Structure 1
Amino acid sequence: MNPRLDALLRSTVSAVQANALTPLYALPTAVRRRLAGAPIQIDGNTLDPEIQLLLRVESLLPGTTKTTAAAARAHMRSVTKLVAGHPRELQRVTDLTVRGADGQLGARLYVPRDPGRGLFVFLHGGGWVVGDLDTHDALCRALAADAGLRVLSVDYRLAPEAPAPTAAEDALAAFSWAVEHAEDLGVDPALIAIGGDSAGGNLAAVVAQQTVARDLPRPALQVLLYPAVDLVGRRPSRDLFADNFLLTEEDILWYREHYTPDPAIRPDPIVSPLLADSLTGLPPALITTAGFDPLRDEGIEYAEALTAAGVEVTHLNHPGLPHGHYNLQAIPGATAEAITTLAEHLKAALH
């Protein structure tokens, strides 16, 4: 890199450290491409250049070692503030409580202008250890606004304080609460979806299965965004994208040890929904995967297994994006397009 571009990169890193991505992505497109470097191609996919630029800047920032759950939670809160962009304006955002498996849970209801009768019960990602209502606030706002749906984000209990299957049982109880209180929420009980990203996608898949197994009201749709669905097996994407793409192999193992400290529970579908004996009779599924995601292959495999079991599946693959891209709302291009596409599918399914 020439000295002028090198100085420019250093100045943008300083801006990012000051919690401002705006100067970085305000640069001319040609300059951003040069700062990002030569295209990264792996397994037939080319990394989105806007993501590549973010990853290059991130590599120059002070990192965090996952020493404690508290430190990891604080780090995620700070990072999501950096990448969330400007929060969307809605008609109303209300904090409330919902029923969990053992007591009340915090939750947040997002109501857009002119909402339809659908509801998306959302379970945040973060490896069952980090994440909260605030880390995914921008995403919930965007989905509510663009899909014209109420969104109910649930603050389920986290590991290691509450190991598996606590989060799954909380998610199931919260979904059941939403169905029971559909009239209070202003929605049609037949138009309530369950979904989430990463670990939240895992929980949503478990909820979909458990409503069938326990003969409970079923979701109208299960929305699994780059989900973790197998805590036992290992697939090629885990090696292809083990480092440098937001979610690392070290992260995956750290989260798994915290959520399932007893390895005996890992083959149980309550934590590994891909390993269920039967997938027949499950609600329709919307599954998204990302080309530069270590969880890519298990997400694809789950989509294929559901299809083979006769479940209606819509699979959206974003080949140039990494794990976690729905939270990167400050980044233009393919990331923004992926959020718009997701909202369009939710609107079509729940209106």
Structure 2
Amino acid sequence: MVDIPDLRAQARGRAAAGPRGPVLARVEDLHGPGGLPLRHYRPRVQARPLLVYVHGGAFVMGDLDTHDRTCRRIADACDVEVLAVDYRRAPEHPCPAAIEDVAAVLRWSRPAAVAGDSAGGYLATMACLRLRDAGDPLPAVQILICPNTDLTLSQPSVVDKGIGYALDADFLAWAIEQWAPDPATRPSPLLAPDLRGMPDTVIVTAEHDALRDEGDAYAYRLAQAGVRVTHRQEPGLMHGFIQNMDLTSPEAAAAHDRLFRDLTTLIS
């Protein structure tokens, strides 16, 4: 049995052991709709376009601190304000609680873009689908980094890359069960019947990632629906490379640079 408090503590410990990230003009903790904890990053005093960031963590872990340096680096490198969301996590708050939280923040903050990694990428695009279906304003851009888009876990890379790399397929299946215990009620963006009207999209996947194929397939489906898509599969990288902030790998450093260029071009 997985000890969830210990899992969360380990994630916070790994983040605390790494580099802090760039010093910014202002970093402020605040509360959003329904008292939801948020963290606002400003790279300089002057107002900049706003990006809402939705952290990964397999639906059960991750928080404002685990992804603090990721948000700092995005704000600094792309010259954007970043609003990080501390959404409710499973299993205490199963589906659709986190989707509701992210959608509420998007309605409240009206950002230029929403971004997320892994489970955060799933939540970001599910929130966009929810806003689209409700006829509410959407961010102009969604940025999905190694996103989980198929909760059925039926894509080939789950088997091909699900052992021996950064994301284990058995752990992934367990995490999805915590998020949505009933397989009949597991909404998957890849399986949505209609993707028309979604925001311009950047999808970045990694070669050695169990979620690679579903991210690639989601990029294809969005493009088929007429959405403007920038899609790139990063060679040699594994799941979670967005948090490799020490950038010891030249491949990871190059991937970050390409991602930041995409964000800067689309948002600024």
Relative to the length of structure 1, the TM-score reads 0.74
- Name the structure 2 match of 1:131: 62
Q: CA deviation at 1:331?
A: 3.1
- Residue type at the aligned position of 2:244: L
Pick the aligned partner of 2:227 from 307, 311, 314: 311
Pick the aligned partner of 2:82 from 135, 151, 154: 151
- Residue type at the aligned position of 2:76: A
* Secondary structure of the corresponding residue to residue 35 of structure 2: strand
Pick the aligned partner of 1:274 from 186, 190, 199: 190
Percent identical: 41
8 Å contact kept, 1:85–1:138: yes
8 Å contact kept, 1:224–1:285: yes
* Secondary structure of the corresponding residue to residue 224 of structure 1: strand
* Distance in 1 between residues matched to 2:87 and 2:233, nearest whole Å: 28
Q: CA deviation at 1:114?
A: 6.1
Q: CA deviation at 1:295?
A: 0.2
Q: Does 1:293 align with 2:209?
A: yes
8 Å contact kept, 1:224–1:288: yes
* Distance in 1 between residues matched to 2:146 and 2:233, nearest whole Å: 9
- Residue type at the aligned position of 1:162: H
Relative to the length of structure 2, the TM-score reads 0.96
Name the larger-Rg structure: 1
Alignment of 1:254-273 (within 5 A): 254-266=174-186, 268=187, 272-273=188-189
- What is the CA deviation profile of residues 252-310 of structure 1, one whole-angstrom value per residue up to 9, with x for unaligned ones? 011111101122211x3xxx111111011111001000000000000000000000110
- Residue type at the aligned position of 2:8: R
State the number of aligned residues: 267
Q: CA deviation at 1:81?
A: 2.8
Q: Does 1:338 align with 2:242?
A: no
* Secondary structure of the corresponding residue to residue 160 of structure 1: coil
Pick the aligned partner of 2:22 from 69, 80, 88: 88
Q: Does 1:209 align with 2:129?
A: yes
- What is the CA deviation profile of residues 170-226 of structure 1, one whole-angstrom value per residue up to 9, with x for unaligned ones? 1100111112xxxxxxxxx6xx11110000000111112111100001111011111
- What is the CA deviation profile of residues 44-102 of structure 1, one whole-angstrom value per residue up to 9, with x for unaligned ones? xxxxxxxxxxxxxxxxxxxxxx62211110111112233x4242111110000111xxx
CA RMSD of aligned residues (A): 1.3
- Structure 1 stretches lacking a partner, 5+ long: 1-65, 180-188
8 Å contact kept, 2:56–2:117: yes
Q: CA deviation at 1:115?
A: 5.4
- Name the structure 1 match of 2:49: 118
8 Å contact kept, 1:115–1:149: no
- Name the structure 2 match of 1:107: 38
Alignment of 1:50-65 (within 5 A): none
- Structure 2 stretches lacking a partner, 5+ long: none
